[in-house]
Amino acid sequence: MLSRSIKLGPKCKVEHCVQRDSCKSRENYSTTVKWNQVLRWSWESQLPLECTQHFVRMRSGAADAQIPEPRFWGDWTSWEEVAVQSSLGHHPLSVFPKDKLVEEGSNVTVCYVSRSHHNNISCYLEGIQIHGEQLDPNVCVFHLNNVPFIRDTGTNMYCKMDPGGVIKGIVLFVSKVFEEPKDFSCETRDLKTLSCTWDPGKDTGLLTQLSPSYTLFESFSGKKVICTHKSWCDWQAAPDSQEMYNFTLTAGNDLRKRSVHLLFNLTHRVHPMAPFNVLFKNVSPTNAAMTWRVHSIGNYSTLLCQVELYGEGKVIQKQNVSVVANGELLVRNLEPYTEYVAQVRCAHASHFWRWSEWTRDNFTTAEAAPSEAPDVWREVKSVQGHRVVTLFWKPLSKLQAKGKILFYNVVLENLDGPSTMKLLSIPAPANCTELALDHHSYQIHVTANNSVGTSPAAVITLSRDPGNKDVEEARVKGTKDGFSLSWKPQPRDVTGYIVEWCEHPRDPRCDLQWKSLGPNTTSTVVSSDAFRPGVRYNFRIYGISTERIPYLLEKKTGYSQELAPSDSPQVHIGNLTASSFTLSWKGWPAEPQPGFLRGYSLYLKSKAVQCLPGSEKAVLPDGSVCCKYKIDNPKQKTFVVQNLQPASFYEFFLTPYTSAGEGPLGTFTKVTTQDEYSRILIRILVPMILCILLLTILCYLKSQWMKEKCYPDIPDPYKSSVLSLIKSKENPRLTIMNVKDCVPDAIEVINKREGARKSLIETEPTKPTYLHLLPTEKSYPGPGPCICFENFTYNQAASESCGPVPGPPKEQPSQLGLLTSSENVLKALGKTYVNSLGEIPAGETNLNYVSQLASPLCGDKSSLPTNPPEPALCSEYKMQMAIPMGLASPPSITPLDEGEHYH
Amino acid sequence: MRAQLMQRTLLSLVLGLLFLSTPAMGSCLDKYQELLGQLQKQADFMQHTSMLLDPYIRIQGLDKDGLKEYCQERPGTFPSKDALQQLSRQGFLHVINTTLGQVLHRLRTLLKDIPKAQDLEKLNMMKLHIRGFKNNIHCMAQLLPGSVEKTEPTPAGPAASPSPTPIPDAFQRRLEGCRFLHGYHRFMHSVGQVFREWGQSPSRSRRHSPRRGLRKGAHRTHLSRRNKRLKPRGWLPR
């Protein structure tokens, strides 16, 4: 910016050149001057002065209108240099202009000045490289056109020098366009103070110190006010001296100024204050007097006030009233005992400008006597020979009650006996009472009472006859909107109809409801929020005679929405045959169900591909296919499944269904039909078994006889008669030989090859081997040594393994020769057995002679002291001793054959 | 969502630390370990650039690739970690107190260039954190045995402080501010590390060769030989 103080004539022309030979701009400046006056004229160069040298010269001329054209100019002054660059210092790089404030959309010229043109300098605007115009080797100019608003803190433009890493930049403070104030308006509430408001428009986004200022100027008075708020300003009016006002609102910041004007008459801009002190007087059931006060506006100003009356949230009355100071209005046609809200607002009556704010208050009208009789119904029960009558009534509506109902009066009049009346007073809000009555006819009067009076009486008559005639129950189809009921018109006179039902039929308390209908009505729709799907509702329709006696006309039952059954019956199987079985579910209750039961579905699974007659294929939810029987009779409780295959496996499931569908599928029950031949077999087998049993018993009873016949006893040689005969005739020493008396002289050992387990028949005849036993020292007097074994016993376990041919272990003759007595022999045999078992190869010997005393148990192999021989080789000799059952296997005594004797 | 949770957690941590910092309420916590733990946590929290530097860069429009590299700490603005480690405990606390006093003053200057109230609110929070930290430093100095010179608690209001060297234009002010805040976060990181090297007891001296530290920064560091006190401008080498 250049600023010069010069002496000029009336009109000046200034020429500004960046260089002497290239003038960039030429501007005119006109002013009225006095002689010898010093003028100050500032202008701003688009190119910052720091960027390069600037030159300026000027000339002046007269611009008086009295002087005709052409006008004459004076001579140019000499060029004057503006050299700011010299004051920049010695910074290697500088960017200009510094911290410039511009408006959004402006054009800005920026330059950098470097001290050395050998450096590589790149410049960026908000991180994006920009390219400029090289003014000279050290100066580059950038023309930034239409600069945008980016952020409140300004736009960064910077240049970097390489090498050296020097960075210099500027912040361009870009302001949003400063808008003109909108909706400038002034008004007064008391003709003393003017309040002017306006919308300042959107924020310029400038720093706080650059925020705009607002000034209010009134041209008639010449007064000016600097506003301290950005959207409103107060002005002290002078109603007595000034009626017209011409305001100018000037808003401005460092970049721009905006002005708006407003001309008005003060009395035309009156915005009254809200009325106050709203009161309601003389409030009756239907009328109320409303009063209020208004703030005075000047002298004798008339206000127009508007009154609105709200009842139950709606405007029910609206009236206008002219008011000077106090307002008053009589509100009519109100409902008794009703709360109302009244509100009032006012405006200047002569020159409407704006309504005041509302002032509101509420009031309640007084009570009146109830206008309608309560709706009454009864429920009659017989308890222990008495009638228990429950009397119900519905609370009166607000319009009918016309006040707060305090109590109900019930008057009982016996129609059969002497004219007696009984009064019961039941406090509100009770809606029923229970009466124990005899079987006389009674007329009951019910009235509702508030603090003002009594309602008309509702009358109902209880006759002696209970009137519960048998009426067939009809089904009715309900919808979500309710039940549509209709009935036949009655030939005799009726005063009306009553439809009653229980709202909660599953609840013991029932919650009796009724609907009163006129005498000309023969249909109605009963709806209730309490109706639930799947619940059966029973409706009774009564006619009310002229004597006010109700009599039952029709019964209806139905569901608001039928549902599918929730469970399935427990089915029992009976009469199971080869081709059929019977299903029974007699114990299952068909009521209550969530819909009218229409029948049952029986699902039968079998291996058969085709369904039996009477059934059809059905696909279950799990995708399996089965046969389905339809039982259309809901009362049917048994079903015979026929034409089945004998001895076949079936699965079945029975479920009820309503119009809404079938019950849930549960577990299938399994059943197998009987075999066709089983009965025949039973008829044959049972007698046969009986016969065999009989025969067995018979044999047992005759066992002694059988034994004698089939297995006679072996004769005892001691008791033989032959023995006595020999004793008497021959040697008296001759007797039965004992084994103790025998001295063995030879033992026959039978060698067998492998596979000695062959049977005797299969075994080849073996050549016996004899062991010659030396005679003992004691010579026998008899005819020579002999060996006699009496009653050999073989261990069964050994014999099983060893085969049927027992034999002694193979012994060397030399060893045996050392033995001198039978005891020694036995001892040696027993000892050698143990020792030799391990030595004798398996299969070489098939008979082992075992001493009873030293013998280990064959079955107890683990207890063998040495390696036990192969079980096939094991055979034992046992002396005549009792063998404990636990130590030996069950004995299997095998009789010795001829060739297998020990000698 | 996660960022909000993080911010809330950090905020609650800071508030907790501030409330735990009894000196702010007029009395000091006399448990050395507890106070040391608070100082460590506060230093850890204040070293996060998200608390001060990052919002400053964003608000001033310096978050551009060509500019970020110039937002580096100017050497000598803040004491280096080595220099801090070579100080006695009392000297260390004194340097922190003095340096943070400068930071508070500089923050006030920097915040003048930020117009929006919501941005100011964030950065003003950091001033509270620094005051809380300084108060804890004061309390720690009282716990140290044989302290000749105690640090003074930070007053709640603005303190008179020598104004920094005037920078002529807004752009240079921004860059300098950015560098300063970068150095501040680095300084707090170093402070946290030094606090972690402190022992279990306030009586144990942790000083490592203070003479070497003096020699190392002798040409630029003006330390009182008695108190090893650093001058406010932080001329310690990095």
Q: What is the per-residue pLDDT for A620?
A: 86
Q: Do B61 and A150 touch (CB under 8 A)?
A: yes
Which residues in chain B are closer than 8 Å to A158, comparing Cβ atoms? 66-67, 171
Fold match, A182-268 / A376-559: yes
Residue A765 to residues A746, A751, A752, A848, A899: CA-CA distances in angstroms? 20, 10, 9, 19, 9
CATH number, domain with residue B73: 1.20.1250.10
Best CATH choice for the domain A182-268 from the list 3.60.20.10, 2.130.10.10, 2.60.40.10, 2.40.10.10: 2.60.40.10
Three-state SS string over A467-486 comes to CCCCCCEEEEEEECCEEEEE
Structural domain contains residue B62: yes
Q: Looking at domain A376-559, which CATH architecture does it have?
A: Sandwich (2.60)
| B34 interfacial to chain A (CB closer than 8 Å) | no
Instruction: Show the tokens assigned to B111.
Output: 């915040």
Q: Do B61 and A154 touch (CB under 8 A)?
A: yes
Superfamily of domain A571-673: Immunoglobulins (2.60.40.10)
Task: Please choose, from the candidates A129, A86, A92, the residue with its C-alpha nearest in 3D space to the C-alpha of residue A113.
Answer: A92
The number of C-alpha atoms within 13 Å of A102 and in the hemisphere containing its C-beta is 22
User: Of A456 and A507, which is predicted with more confidence?
Assistant: A456
Minimum-distance CB partner of A127 among B66, B169, B175 = B66
Q: Model confidence at A834, in pLDDT bands (50, 70, 90)? A: very low
In chain A, where the domains are located: 1-87, 90-177, 182-268, 276-365, 376-559, 571-673, 676-704
Could you give the angle at which helices B2-20 and B32-46 cross, rounded to 10 degrees? Answer: 140
Q: At residue A903, does pLDDT exceed 50? A: no
Structural domain contains residue B160: no
Q: How far is B9 from chain A (nearest CA, A)?
A: 30
Count residue pairs from A and B with Cβ separation < 8 A: 60
Q: At residue A729, does pLDDT exceed 80? A: no
Q: Model confidence at A5, in pLDDT bands (50, 70, 90)? A: very low
Chain segment B163-222, per-residue pLDDT in tens: 444 456 889 999 999 999 999 999 999 999 999 988 766 765 545 433 333 333 333 333
Structural domain contains residue B155: no
Chain segment A418-457, per-residue pLDDT in tens: 777 889 999 999 999 998 888 888 999 999 999 999 999 9
> Which of residues 183 through 222 in chain B touch A, CB cutoff 8 A?
none
Q: Is residue B78 within 8 Å of residue B223, measured between CB atoms?
A: no
Chain segment A677-727, per-residue pLDDT in tens: 776 777 788 889 999 999 999 888 888 887 877 777 777 767 766 666 666
Structural domain contains residue B236: no
CA-to-CA distance for A519 and A497, rounded, in angstroms?
Answer: 6
Structural domain contains residue B140: yes
CATH number of A1-87: 2.60.40.10
Structural domain contains residue B189: yes
Minimum-distance CB partner of A167 among B65, B70, B168 = B70
Q: What is the per-residue pLDDT for A69?
A: 67
| B171 interfacial to chain A (CB closer than 8 Å) | yes
Q: Do A98 and B168 touch (CB under 8 A)?
A: yes
Q: At residue A594, does pLDDT exceed 70? A: yes
Lowest mean pLDDT among A121-130, A637-646, A790-799, B176-185: A790-799
State the ipTM, two decimals: 0.73
| B168 interfacial to chain A (CB closer than 8 Å) | yes
CATH number of A276-365: 2.60.40.10
Q: What is the mean predicted confidence (pLDDT) over A459-478?
A: 84
Q: Do A170 and B61 touch (CB under 8 A)?
A: no
> What is the pTM assigned to this prediction?
0.52
| A170 interfacial to chain B (CB closer than 8 Å) | yes
Q: How far is A98 from chain B (nearest CA, A)?
A: 6
Q: How far is B61 from chain A (nearest CA, A)?
A: 7
Q: How far is B122 from chain A (nearest CA, A)?
A: 16
Question: Collapsing DSSP states into helix, strand and coil, what is residue A791?
Answer: coil
Q: Give the residue ranges of chain B where pLDDT is below 70.
A: 1-26, 117-118, 146-168, 200-201, 203-238
Which residues in chain A are closer than 8 Å to B172, comparing Cβ atoms? 168-169
Q: What is the per-residue pLDDT for A755?
A: 42
Minimum-distance CB partner of B65 among A95, A127, A152 = A127
Report the number of distinct structural domains present in chain B.
1
User: How much of chain A exceeds pLDDT 90, in percent?
Assistant: 38
Q: At residue A224, does pLDDT exceed 60? A: yes
Question: Which domain covers residue B174, as residue numbers?
Answer: 28-147+170-199
Which residues in chain A are closer than 8 Å to B71, comparing Cβ atoms? none
Q: Which amino acid is at A27?
A: E
CA-to-CA distance for A363 and A683, rounded, in angstroms?
Answer: 103
Q: Do B171 and A170 touch (CB under 8 A)?
A: yes
Q: Do B60 and A160 touch (CB under 8 A)?
A: no
User: Of A94 and A759, which is predicted with more confidence?
Assistant: A94
Q: What is the per-residue pLDDT for A79?
A: 87
| A160 interfacial to chain B (CB closer than 8 Å) | yes
Q: How far is B116 from chain A (nearest CA, A)?
A: 8
Chain segment A546-580, per-residue pLDDT in tens: 888 998 999 999 999 999 998 888 899 988 888 88
Q: How far is B76 from chain A (nearest CA, A)?
A: 19
Q: Which amino acid is at A85?
A: Q
User: What residue of B is the nearest CA neighbor of A155?
Assistant: B61
Q: Do A160 and B61 touch (CB under 8 A)?
A: no
Q: At residue A878, does pLDDT exceed 50? A: no
Q: What DSSP assignment string belongs to A260-297?
A: EEEEEEGGGGB-PPPPEEEEEES--SS-EEEEEE----
User: Of A899 and A774, which is predicted with more confidence?
Assistant: A774
Q: Model confidence at A460, in pLDDT bands (50, 70, 90)? A: very high
CATH topology of domain A90-177: Immunoglobulin-like (2.60.40)
Which residues in chain A are closer than 8 Å to B175, comparing Cβ atoms? 167, 169
